[in-house]
Structure 1
Amino acid sequence: MIRPFIFMLALLISGTLGSQDLTRSRTNSPYTYIFSITEKQALDLIRKGSTGKDETLFRQVVDSFPTGTTYKGKLQPGNYVTAYVDNDKVKVLYSSVPNVHLAVVDNKTDLVIQVRDASGLIIEDAVLKRGMRTLRYDPSINAYIHVKSNSKGILNVTHDGITTLFMLERTLDNSSLRRNSRKLAYGTPVRYVWVPVKTVVMLPYDAVRSAIRGYGFGTARGVWWSIKRAIEPGPYSGFMLFNKPKYMPGDTVMLKAYVLTGKNKKPFQGETDLNIYLTDPYRRIKLATLSPYTPGGYTHSFVLSDTLGLRLDNDYRITMTPANRSRALLSGSFMYEYYDLRSLKLVVRTPDSVQYRGRPFIIGLKALNENDMILPDVRVTLHILRERVNEIPGPFLPVKDTIAVIRENLRPSGETVVMIPDSLFPDANMTCKIVAVANTSDNESVTETRTMTFIDRKEEICYSTIGDSIRFYLKVNGTETAREAELIASDAFGNKQPAQKISLPWQMKIDPFITGYTVTSGNARRTVETMELPNGIAPRTHRTADSVFISATSNTGLAFSYFIYDLNREVARGTAQTLDFREKVTSDRKWYLSLSYLWGGEMNNSIYEISRDKSRLNISAEQPDKIIPGKETAITLTVTDIDGRPARNTDITAFSLTRKFGYNLPALPYLAKPGKNKEHINSFSTATPNSPYRTHRLEYDWWNAKAGLDTVAYFRFRYHPEEIALFRCDMGDNITQFAPFIFSDGMPVRINQVFVDHRPGYIDFASANQPYSFRVDTGYHFISIRTPGAVYEADSIRFVSGKKTVLSIRDSEKPAGYTRKDAPDKMTDKEQRQIANYVMPYKTLFENSVAYLQQDGNIRLMSDVRQQLANPDRQFSSRGTRIVGPVMPANALFVLPGKFTTSFRFEPLYEYDFEKGLLRMRSFDPVKRIPQYYAKGNAMEDWRSSVLTTAYLEKVSREITEKRTAPR
């Protein structure tokens, strides 16, 4: 009985569809569908973004899930798309479920990929193709390799009859042609011809590009830098040392500087000016003109007298410049203050950072002088302060800020041990600060702070690693306890393995393919990422004058892949758990070790440089263990080179100062000529294609049969079979209103004007701030709609009292239920003058308020409230004009809430200017003011909106005020 009834309704010219409230209807399909697709379809999606025809792409449905939720099922390996209907589009997302895991071995040279199955085992019979090229399998490294590759794009991996697509990315576009061209052009004598020719040819072109861009570019930039380097001296480097970091008034500042210049770091041999810079007011004071005592070396000393005008507690900068020049060679700084170097040092030792209920907390205290000798007669006060309460047993627990104050006189010898009882702490898990203040008999004091955690009750799962194994165990208040637990492991595919019942403590071998372990026992839970665990790989390299030594071991039994290079020449490769390599060398070229291993489901890649630093100097000092103050002691310094031979012509800087300053040496310049580095040919990465949503126009009939779209009110509203469909909606305001729409094959047709019984109800260019819903009297009415290309007329449309009627017209060439007349998209002068009688231009003097016009129950908003709600702090311009309508030639009321109202009779063909107690009117020419052409486009108005009411505008006004006055 139901099916014939529905069929009869579909035959009607017009119908009322009200089983669902259109204004509350969803706008997408109830379900999202998962379809299995072929490799070719997947390639088309990724490469071209082409979805093809629905009946071909969406042929094989695998599963579905409610739209807006996350799919929780598990798919078999393969290529899939998820698709759902959203408004008038089908959104398609490609996804891949791989049956292999790829790990890229990055040796900075080749494309090397290891392929593993779901168990983490190496796959040797997979087929890896990038375009027409197939990567060969190399059993020595258990990987597929393409030597010195420059590939990128889609990588096809086929295993067990399933092809999975991966995106192959590279860091450089570095083909062999480019590499060889660079070597030929810049690495051979050809450069003496190529560089001048390139400069002459490219300079005019790059000069124009530089002028357009506003900065140096290409050849023009290179020429500019060449001239600059020829005119200006090279960069300076070196160091400046002071005999101490801070000084008091009257102290003597002793400094030494060593200045190097140019790219070759040659010692600077000219005279230099030594300047000190003062601030507030800014001044530069020349201290001296220095001559080098040796090429590059300068020394000077000066007294900090009152004549310099230095101010205490300031940092002062000393600079060296070439004599009578302003460009700085070197600079250094020192602090000028009255300082007090404390001889007292308090050593606070805490064997543990956690105290559990039932156990005391131990603190060891020692007071030392500058010679690390124990000071007698020292007293210490311990303040135990609450820092943060982490957990309490009930809803409320008072906790004091100061937990306890403990005073203790330190022993004259050895360490003083203080026991903090657990009875001092409340029944809470909390973090505390222990502030220890030590005082001597001569009132010298020092403060040290430590952090401790008090645990009243806590269960925690801990772990430790032993070789290739991990051990999980449970601690209850710090005591290891046996208990049943659950273990879940996650692998490199992102899959969680089935839960395993275990008994704590539990020990197992670490699987490098597992990304993490989660152990749960009672209320205790712990997740351990495998990457956080020690992998046990320990490489060691050494270089001598005639040999290179490389070794690597793995105490976890983890296999690693290695590549060994003599600069750019590959010497050895392989896979092993232990590596011991040595080779005779006859040059100073750098060697490199590339080491890669899978750990935590990810490939770890490292490159180690093995070079011999010929510029390194070794300094040894012959001096006694102790030096008595006031006694002169001879200290012998020996400087040797890397081969142990005495280094001649060496400049030595030696000085000493007390460690109380906490002084750190500045960085010294590196003087060795940089050697040639290994060429970085390329690096690669792989990932499953992360294709964005593809959209295409909805094929309604196909998707309706597949997804039952006609059960959703929104899709019946756009794709109904009737010529006219009416939807009744309860807007909650008991106002009779309507909103018309026209659809051509489900796509909205632009509506420019709407007339009710030949009176305008909507004018698009005069409704910028108005909702798309119009008041209408209850009963039957004649409706006329003007679009850019036609006039639609429908008679006897019934509007129900207190409801909103959404009128949906299906565009048809020869309709039976309404009339359609073609019309031009250009207004005649007569039409412009006719419509001008129903619009009111006005000055926008109230853009920061909620102004409106009221006439016969209709409210026309005259302020842009959307902008005010979006940007409440912004003051919008009150200059300009806007048009509102339709307005009838009758009495009207202008309302500016909280300020003034103006009652007037609307006269057509005038522009209005509303001010308090004043109404200005200016005539306008309709032909110039009214748009000549009807606006086009297929933008769809909001079918869910309702007519304006004063209550709604008051609510909006309050919301704007609240946003403007909200604290920032």
Structure 2
Amino acid sequence: MNRLMLSLLVFFSLANYCYSQTSLTKSRKSSRYTYIYKLTDQEAKEIVSTSKIALIKPSLSQPVDSFPNTDREMYKKALPFGNYLAIGAFGNQVQYEFMPMPNVSVDFLRNSLDLRFVLTDNQSVQVNDAIVKIGNVQIKYNPLLNLYQSGLRKSNSVMTVNYKGITSFFKYEIDQKLQSRQSWERQKKKSNKEYSSFTDRIRGNLIFNKPTYRPNDTVRFKAYLVNKKGKGIGYKTLSAFLKEEDEKNEKLVTTIKPYRSGGYEGSFVLSDSLGLKLNSNYTLLLEEKLDGEWKQIFGSSLKFEDYLLPENKLIVRKEFESYYPGIPVNLFIRATDANELPIADGRLELVVKANYLHDKYQNQLFVKDTLWTLNQRLDPISETKITIPENIFPNAELSVAVQVNLLNSNNERLESYTFFKFSAQKTELQLVHKKDSVKVILQTNGASRNENVLLYRTNRKGVVDSTVISLPVTLPIDQQVNRYKVKTSGGKVYETYIYGYPSEIVPSINHTIDSLKIKVFNKFNIPFWYAIVEDGKLRTSGYS
């Protein structure tokens, strides 16, 4: 009996062991959570300085927060000011993400003479009592210029800003755009020098019978080459080589003889023996042999890919994504064959349907499924323009689907769909600038609405303030605000973005024999900084 019980125990243990095994290919390949740790100031400075997070060994304690890896892009929680490190495992790697939460931001006033910048807090209020250092040098606040000022510092330096007990770190670079342009100019000069061996001495044209080729296609080409004086280069026999871009190896494809002075034509097959790579660009080089070496004298590029010939296509385009009363709903339809030529015998069938009802502007409203149909011949030359009547749409806001069918004489059928939104009432939030103020207006079909709303204003740092207010209303211009949003008593939300206020700061210069008089016209009374430079030297600067 004891032996039987032992056998059964071993059997069930083995069964449980086998059942618990999981295929490695189906097991998790990442950690379930990404954990967020608080960094010390020194650890954060090392990360900003080196940009190599994986090499830093932070003294991590308990995580301050975590989130599922599936929601990695959705983490929007506002952490307290400071510096953090997010750590999670993905595949066979541990991934790190530096998450700075500064309580100030830096705006540089770029020039080539000195270093000037402004600090603002998260309410866009200017900061003048922060401790700022670049390296071990403290940058002082200049109360006359209303900014921080110092001599130029080494590029790629780390700026340390301590404000209200929070230390933030910023990377500082000097004239990055200028450096990029100078680098581009050097590259351009180098490129010109590289090809001067044959473009300076010989000019001309080299053309192909088509721009793109498939495997086993025949490449046909013609060339006409002249010297500096514009005369044909003579009756030289040339060899044609095929070279992949950015590669050095050249493959001889054919030898060509001129049919006239400087005039050449030839052909070759893109066979498998050439060992060409699909979806690559190649250069056909014409070369002559001088002193036992091949010299490039001319070239042109071609594409090599396994493309498919296009089939019949039906293209439907619209002018806008949303339509309102007074804006005609125009559709433009074009159909082409495999040769990109218009289809001449096409017949169009148009079906306009209500796709989804977003809102209605009357208590009782019946909305038909099919709003409109049309049968029409396709224009055989150009686009076919069809205007959908405005009176087919109900007194509502809805998404509309348009199905376009094309039939030709061979009973071939093509389908295409397009979608747009129509609203019988156009309600929008508008801003009207006047001197140093902005008027906020909510209007429907051009008429201003008088009502109480909840007004949100968002500054460029994402900080929002809100207040209950009666529209229309006139408010002082806040240069830091880039979005206005209102929520009506019915729960409707309307918003508008500001991509830049009109500054209209216009300088006026009056130059006499021995003096220079400068006036500035500032329509909206916007604070600004100025600097006057002569021959690379700073004459004066200030804040107004």
TM-score (norm 2): 0.51
- Tell me how far 1:148 sits from its aligned partner: 4.3
- Structure 1 residues 503, 425: closer, same or farther in 2, change over 3 A? same
**2:495 aligned partner:** 527
2:430 match: secondary structure: strand
- Of 138, 141, 145, the residue aligned with 1:141 is 145
- Structure 1 residues 43, 356: closer, same or farther in 2, change over 3 A? closer
- Structure 1 residues 15, 518: closer, same or farther in 2, change over 3 A? same
Distance 1:46 1:425 in 2: 61
> Is 1:512 aligned to residue 463 of structure 2?
no
Distance 1:559 1:390 in 2: 54
**Gapped regions of structure 1 (runs ≥ 5):** 1-11, 176-212, 229-354, 362-383, 403-422, 431-453, 577-968
Q: Is the contact made by 1:467 and 1:536 (CA closer than 8 Å) also made in structure 2?
A: no
Mapping of residues 48-447 of structure 1, within 5 Å: 48=50, 49=52, 51=54, 56-69=58-71, 70-171=74-175, 216=193, 387=330, 394=367, 395-398=369-372, 425-427=391-393
Mapping of residues 765-914 of structure 1, within 5 Å: none
Mapping of residues 737-752 of structure 1, within 5 Å: none
Q: Is the contact made by 1:150 and 1:174 (CA closer than 8 Å) also made in structure 2?
A: no
Distance 1:575 1:53 in 2: 42
- Tell me how far 1:50 sits from its aligned partner: 5.1
1:47 match: secondary structure: helix
**1:35 aligned partner:** 37
Distance 2:162 2:353 in 1: 53
- Of 45, 48, 51, the residue aligned with 1:46 is 48
- Tell me how far 1:480 sits from its aligned partner: 1.3
- Tell me how far 1:535 sits from its aligned partner: 3.0
Summarize deviations over 1:63-82 as a string: whole Å, max 9, x none: 11111312121111111100
Distance 2:151 2:138 in 1: 12
- Tell me how far 1:166 sits from its aligned partner: 0.8
- Tell me how far 1:103 sits from its aligned partner: 0.8
Distance 2:454 2:191 in 1: 65
- Tell me how far 1:476 sits from its aligned partner: 2.1
Summarize deviations over 1:468-524 as a string: whole Å, max 9, x none: 2222222222221122323222223233x1543333223222222223222343576
Q: Is the contact made by 2:158 and 2:169 (CA closer than 8 Å) also made in structure 1?
A: yes
**2:278 aligned partner:** none
- Structure 1 residues 214, 530: closer, same or farther in 2, change over 3 A? closer
Distance 2:67 2:89 in 1: 13
- Tell me how far 1:125 sits from its aligned partner: 1.7
- Tell me how far 1:145 sits from its aligned partner: 1.4
1:135 match: secondary structure: strand
- Structure 1 residues 530, 214: closer, same or farther in 2, change over 3 A? closer
Distance 1:390 1:459 in 2: 24
Q: Is the contact made by 2:430 and 2:496 (CA closer than 8 Å) also made in structure 1?
A: no
- Of 18, 24, 27, the residue aligned with 1:25 is 27
> Is 1:563 aligned to residue 537 of structure 2?
no
Mapping of residues 482-501 of structure 1, within 5 Å: 482-495=450-463, 497-501=464-468
Summarize deviations over 1:613-668 as a string: whole Å, max 9, x none: xxxxxxxxxxxxxxxxxxxxxxxxxxxxxxxxxxxxxxxxxxxxxxxxxxxxxxxx
2:117 match: secondary structure: strand
- Of 470, 479, 484, the residue aligned with 2:438 is 470
Q: Is the contact made by 1:461 and 1:525 (CA closer than 8 Å) also made in structure 2?
A: no
Mapping of residues 636-651 of structure 1, within 5 Å: none
Identical columns (%): 25
User: Aligned letter for 1:62?
Assistant: V
- Structure 1 residues 479, 401: closer, same or farther in 2, change over 3 A? farther
Distance 2:56 2:112 in 1: 43
- Structure 1 residues 73, 424: closer, same or farther in 2, change over 3 A? closer
Q: Is the contact made by 1:462 and 1:526 (CA closer than 8 Å) also made in structure 2?
A: no
- Tell me how far 1:149 sits from its aligned partner: 4.4
Distance 1:507 1:399 in 2: 48
Distance 2:328 2:66 in 1: 58
Q: Is the contact made by 1:33 and 1:83 (CA closer than 8 Å) also made in structure 2?
A: yes
Distance 1:15 1:153 in 2: 59
- Structure 1 residues 63, 172: closer, same or farther in 2, change over 3 A? closer
- Tell me how far 1:459 sits from its aligned partner: 2.0
Mapping of residues 559-958 of structure 1, within 5 Å: 559-576=527-544
Q: Is the contact made by 1:141 and 1:561 (CA closer than 8 Å) also made in structure 2?
A: yes
Distance 1:533 1:53 in 2: 43
- Structure 1 residues 566, 61: closer, same or farther in 2, change over 3 A? same
Structure with more contact order per residue of length (Cα contacts < 8 Å, sep ≥ 6):
1
User: Aligned letter for 2:372?
Assistant: P
Distance 1:533 1:550 in 2: 24
- Structure 1 residues 456, 29: closer, same or farther in 2, change over 3 A? closer
Give the number of the structure whose residues are more often strand, by fraction.
2
Distance 1:505 1:540 in 2: 36
Q: Is the contact made by 1:460 and 1:524 (CA closer than 8 Å) also made in structure 2?
A: no
User: Aligned letter for 1:59?
Assistant: S
- Structure 1 residues 464, 401: closer, same or farther in 2, change over 3 A? farther
Summarize deviations over 1:579-621 as a string: whole Å, max 9, x none: xxxxxxxxxxxxxxxxxxxxxxxxxxxxxxxxxxxxxxxxxxx
TM-score (norm 1): 0.30
1:398 match: secondary structure: strand
Summarize deviations over 1:906-934 as a string: whole Å, max 9, x none: xxxxxxxxxxxxxxxxxxxxxxxxxxxxx
- Structure 1 residues 174, 150: closer, same or farther in 2, change over 3 A? farther
1:144 match: secondary structure: strand
Q: Is the contact made by 1:128 and 1:156 (CA closer than 8 Å) also made in structure 2?
A: yes
- Tell me how far 1:100 sits from its aligned partner: 0.6
Aligned length: 324
Q: Is the contact made by 2:353 and 2:371 (CA closer than 8 Å) also made in structure 1?
A: no
User: Aligned letter for 1:505?
Assistant: P
Q: Is the contact made by 1:562 and 1:574 (CA closer than 8 Å) also made in structure 2?
A: yes
- Structure 1 residues 57, 28: closer, same or farther in 2, change over 3 A? farther
Distance 1:557 1:472 in 2: 20
User: Aligned letter for 2:370?
Assistant: F
Distance 1:148 1:65 in 2: 42
User: Aligned letter for 2:330?
Assistant: E
